[in-house]
Chains A and B, each alone.
Chain A
Amino acid sequence: MWLIDLAPFVPFFIAALLALITRGWIRNLILLATPVLGGIHLWVDVSPGIVTAVSIMDYELILMRADRLSLLFGYIFHIAAFIAAIFALHVRDTTQTVSSLLYAGSALGAVFAGDLITLFIFWELLAISSVFLVWAGRSERAIHSGMRYLVIQVSSGMLLLAGALVQYYQTGSLAFDYIGLEGISGWLIFLAFGIKCAFPLLHTWLIDAYPEATPTGTVFLSVFTTKVAVYALARGFPGTELLVYIGAVMTCFPIFYAVIENDLRRVLAYSLINQLGFMVCGIGIGTALALNGTVAHAFSHILYKALLFMSMGAVLYRAGTIKATDLGGLYKSMPKTASLCIVGACSISAFPLFSGFVSKSMVMAAMIEESYDYLWLVLLFASAGVFHHAGIKIPYFAFFAHDSGIRTREAPLNMLIAMSIAAVLCVLIGSQPQYLYALLPWEVEYWPYDTTHVLSQLQLLLFSALAFVWLNKQGIYPPEMRAVNIDAEWLYRKLMPDTAHSIYCFMKKTGNRAENAFDSTLKDAAKSMISTRFGRFNLAASWPTGSMAFWLAVILGIFLLADAIH
């Protein structure tokens, strides 16, 4: 037992400080050692039930509340931070290194937060630290995109704070436990979580910002923000039925966009929302099996999503582009990256023996158990769809398809190591799920491997692949195009600015017209005045300041005189 009450974010914040003043291998060592030591400490020393609080003035901030739910997220965040750190080991950019450490620390702070104020603090720190990973893209697009990202993320925090204060006013408690949708505070907090969890129409920041970040930054981004939101929803709103419907929409609408999207990292961003949909559904169902499914799916999702973002990051790093129109045939120069990407693709598609299979199926099974039969069909559709766009499209257009002629080198060693660790874990979780199941917060008997499940899943997936082949052979499959597809962000990136602009133009025009009309009337009046006999007198001309002062003095004098007489 060593420092059992050390809140898990502390080592990351100290490491960020150290990374600021160190360079070279020492900094790399800090970057790697922090998640390893922090993770070991969490695993060995911290057991469920430990609570750490600090008092600030009269208020008690609960910095660490360790239970099986927060601990599981703590473990996976450490693992993911370690993998992402290896992937980013070649980066010589202090901004990125420091902000990624702060970002990982903030995510840990948020999942271990025991009260809403602590949660709010880390919620905002998540936003502020992560935006630098977007800005580190350093293109003009990245700067603008990061700004939009920051505004939306910070507003989410504001809603959270407002909700927390209303809750405090009404109940006198700021505890972060079950919240539910009763009252205004519940809705405010729900909306705050919903923004970070990329609910439909609130999701635009994700597809806007993630593809603009650096190749390594996106890996960090894909891990933390949305999964903190999933954790927060699982803590605050389990069994809220509305979430089942929201989740179902989240699984479906992004897959259509993903099919026609050209930027492969944006395809992954859409599929991230699709995967979050399964977790949100699980939270909405709220049974022990469903919640275990959500948490397990978050765990495996973090790994395979990071793996996919890493493989696309490696492609972007080597080939210099991530547009499907420009890529193809890269398996010739990057065979290892291609194979690792395929492992990620199999995992996200939930092939038996890969991680997605053992976690997504819990949510699906819970759905059937609770008689959401039609929504189960929707999720099944989304499962086929995710294989189509993430499982096939990503590896196919990047590494196979037509040969783009790009000849480059294999990804750097550190990237290959990071991807390999993630890939091994994907297969390990998929083939030996008992280890993950043992860590799940609720006690439920579940085993994914039986004839029915394996056979039905294989049929679903391979016939989806068949559809892809058939559509391609028939020439029906939509070709990749250099284009953007408008999404809900169109509202604030196009409609609102354009409307504002046209209103401005209209006002300006009307103003000018009115001014002209007024001006000409005035000039006409002046002209006619001058043309009369009064025009000879000074009254019609502009007066010098001196005469104004003189007449003012006269008027004041008259006033004084009148006052005295009065």
Chain B
Amino acid sequence: MNEPESEIVEKQHLFDNPRNVSLVIGSLYSVCILLFLLDFILHRHATNEWDGFAGFYALFGFTACVTLVLIAKQMRRILKRKENYYDVAD
């Protein structure tokens, strides 16, 4: 009985429900906080002069990605061309 109905109304998928999306993002936040705190609890031995201080990798990862995206965004101003840029026949 349910078969024909499911063909008309598409079934709701996992991330159609905004609550599931928030759940994923929420758990990412909590894991990040946990990992940051673990730096103060677990002993992480320094491999060089920088990475000894607490939160180095967390800070580095976050900053690196933000920098990456911001620079890439600026690169677009110089590098971006139309999709058929190379296709234009002489």
Interface residues of A (CB under 8 A from B): 141, 255-257, 259-260, 331-332, 365, 368, 373, 376-377, 380-381, 384-385, 388, 400, 451-452, 455-471, 476-478, 481-487, 493-494, 497, 501
Select one of B59, B69, B73 contacting A463, CB under 8 A: B59
A467 CA to B62 CA, complexed, in Å? 5
Report B46-86 residues with CB < 8 Å from chain A CB: 47-51, 56-66, 68-73, 75-76, 79-83, 85-86
Q: What's the dominant secondary structure at chain B's contact region?
A: helix
Are B61 and A451 interface neighbours, CB within 8 A? no
Contact of A384 among B51, B64, B71 (CB under 8 A): B64
Residues in B whose Cβ lies below 8 Å from that of A457: 57
Q: Considering the complex, give the chain A residue whose CB is closest to the CB of B31.
A: A462
The answer to whether B38 and A455 have CB atoms under 8 Å apart is yes
Is there an interface contact between A493 and B86, defined as CB atoms closer than 8 Å? yes
A331 in contact with B14 (CB, 8 Å): yes
Bound form: Cα–Cα A332–B71 in Å: 33
* B19 to A: closest C-beta gap in Å: 16
Neighbouring B residues of A373 by C-beta, 8 Å = 48-50
Q: Is the CB of B61 within 8 A of A476?
A: no
Contact B14 A463 (CB under 8 A): no
Q: Which residues of B contact A (CB under 8 A)?
A: 13-15, 25, 28-29, 31-32, 35-36, 38-39, 42-45, 47-51, 56-66, 68-73, 75-76, 79-83, 85-87, 90
- With beta carbons under 8 angstroms apart, the residue of B38, B39, B56, B80 that contacts A485 is B80
Contact (Cβ within 8 A) A471 B15: no
Nearest Cβ on chain B to A474's Cβ, whole angstroms: 10
Partner of A451, one of B32, B42, B80: B42
| Closest B residue, CB atoms, query A501 | B90
| Complexed CA–CA distance, A461 and B61 (Å) | 6
Contact B69 A478 (CB under 8 A): yes
- Least Cβ distance of A473 to chain B in Å? 9
| Chain A residues in 8 Å Cβ range of B75 | 256-257, 260, 485
- A365 cross-chain contacts in B, Cβ below 8 A: 47
| Contact in complex: B32, A463 (CB < 8 Å) | yes
Question: Are A331 and B13 touching (Cβ within 8 A)?
Answer: yes
Q: Which of B14, B43, B62 contacts A466 (CB 8 A)?
A: B62
Whether B35 and A459, one on each chain, are in contact in the complex, defined by CB atoms closer than 8 angstroms, is yes
Report yes or no: A497 in contact with B69, Cβ–Cβ below 8 A: no
- 10 A-B pairs within 8 Å (CB atoms) are namely A141-B87, A260-B80, A381-B64, A385-B68, A460-B61, A462-B35, A464-B62, A469-B28, A478-B73, A483-B82
Contacts of A456 in B (CB 8 A): 44, 51, 56-57
User: Top 8 nearest A-B pairs by Cβ distance?
Assistant: A467-B65, A463-B61, A459-B57, A259-B72, A384-B64, A460-B61, A485-B79, A463-B62
Asked if A388 and B68 make an inter-chain contact with CB atoms under 8 angstroms apart, the answer reads: yes
B64 touching A385, Cβ below 8 Å: yes
Q: Across the interface, do B25 and A469 meet the contact criterion of CB distance under 8 Å?
A: yes
Contact of B72 among A141, A260, A381 (CB under 8 A): A260
Residues of A within 8 Å of B80, CB to CB, are: 260, 481, 483-485
User: CA A470 – CA B32 in complex, angstroms?
Assistant: 13
- In the complex, the chain B residue whose C-beta lies closest to that of A403 is B16
